[in-house]
Amino acid sequence: MGRLVQHLRENREQINQRIFNTFLRETTELKTKSKHGQIRQFVIVSLRKSQKHQLARRFEQCGRGHQCSYIYCTQCRARYANRLESRINYHIGQHRLNDAEIRQRFRFVTLLHYLVPNEVRQIELQQRQVRRELNNFRRKWFGTWGTGVYEYELIDMHKVCHSNNLSGSGSRKHAVLIGMLNRHVGANLFDDDIGISWADQNGTNRTDYVLLHTHFVMDGGDFDWNDIKENMQRRWAGKYRVDVLPLHSDKPIDESISRVSNYCFKNLGRLTSYNYDFGYYNHEDVSTKRFNAREVASMFVLNNSMNSGNRKGLLLYWNSLRD
Ligand SMILES: [Zn+2]
């Protein structure tokens, strides 16, 4: 007993720190859990408001005997991320790549493809075009491997154009989006609002767009990444449209892979906040950036319809590496 008291006395600092860390971890987990609960509730209410009762029910009842497979569902999203992670690890195992080879050959790639009016049909057509572009790219780089996702990020160009938070990276994102929209409609959008709107089937003028982009892990095989990157920048010309990152140099390989896998399915956290960020850029948390119910429902419906039926889903995969 006396020894225990002595031990406690001598190690008081360390023990207190440990207790405090546990406390911190638990409260953070609690916060995260309730945040997910709130988002979940918000999504359900938004879907019901948009008369998407069937989707709402399936989402609500996920886990009770079936899985909803929605990208905005915490459990299903985690399953997608885990599968992506195992696919990457399987590839590493299959080719018996050691850490040095992985660091040399692997890159995490983000490509910004198109800014498309937020309408399923138009996005579907545009995604077909992206698949063609990626197929051409893979043909050129025969002897590579890649896996990742298509992502649809909702962007209200009206808000982007009238954002007063345009310092630093904010102004860069603004410029990139304007540039992409200019390319899309071929107009100069700095002058007025009319240039940024599009008319939907009901003749309503809208300013909501979807930034169609891809995130994937690519094994460049025996190729030089400088050559691949240069070629990407030529194919997807324009500032900041191509982003090629090596794995975190200060983290173990498996942790990096787990991180990028989760990053590919990060949508959930972004659903309730407005996105002027894309790729891996940092998020700026401003309450006016929140999505409204209609926007949430539209993103949910879009992801669901792109992920079902014959639309080939959100996944991206190729393998032309010899075994
Ligand atoms: Zn689910």
Q: What is the pLDDT along the chain (323 residues), one digit of tens a residue?
A: 577 777 767 777 776 776 666 666 655 555 555 666 777 787 888 889 989 999 899 888 888 788 888 877 878 888 888 999 999 999 999 999 999 999 999 999 999 998 888 888 888 889 899 999 999 999 999 999 999 998 888 887 777 766 655 555 566 677 777 777 766 554 444 444 556 788 888 888 888 888 888 999 999 999 999 999 999 999 998 878 899 999 988 899 999 999 888 888 775 445 544 343 432 223 333 444 566 777 778 888 888 888 776 545 688 899 999 77
How far is the centre of ligand 1, averaged over its atoms, from the C-alpha of 128 (Å)?
Answer: 27
Q: Examine residue 163 and state whether it is found in any structural domain, yes or no.
A: yes
What whole-number distance in Å separates Cα of residue 78 and Cα of residue 84? 10
| 103 assigned to some structural domain | yes
Whether residue 84 contacts residue 215, with contact meaning beta carbons closer than 8 Å, is answered with no
Residue from 309, 308, 315, 303 nearest 153 by CA: 303
Would you state the pLDDT for residue 143?
96
Is residue 36 in some structural domain?
no
The verdict on residue 40 lying in a domain is no
Domain annotation covers residue 71: no
Total domains, the chain: 1
Going from the Cα of 63 to the center of ligand 1, the distance in angstroms, rounded, reads 6
- Contacts for 211 with CB less than 8 Å, ≥ 6 apart: 112, 114, 115, 152, 153, 154, 155, 177, 180, 275, 278
Query: How far apart are the two ends of the chain, measured CA to CA in Å?
Result: 63
Q: How far is the CA of 74 from the centre of ligand 1 (A)?
A: 7
Residue 67 Cα, ligand 1 centroid: separation in angstroms?
A: 5
Q: Please, which residues have CB within 8 angstroms of residue 12's CB and are 6 or more apart in sequence?
A: none
Contact 196, 155 (CB under 8 A): no
CA of 283 to the centre of ligand 1 (A): 25
For the chain, count helices (H), then strands (E): 12, 7
Tell me if 128 is assigned to some domain: yes
Locate tokens 């899985």: which residue? Answer: 67
Rounded to 5°, the CA angle 25-30-31 comes to 100
Full domain range(s) for residue 115: 80-319
Rounded to two decimals, the pTM is 0.78
Closest by alpha carbon to 301, among 41, 48, 39?
48
Q: Is residue 17 part of a domain?
A: no
Residue with tokens 């960020």, as numbered in its chain:
277
Domain assignment of residue 64, yes or no: no
CA 45 to ligand 1 center in whole angstroms: 16
SS3 content of the chain, % helix, strand, coil (to 5): 55, 15, 30
19 CA to middle of ligand 1, Å?
34
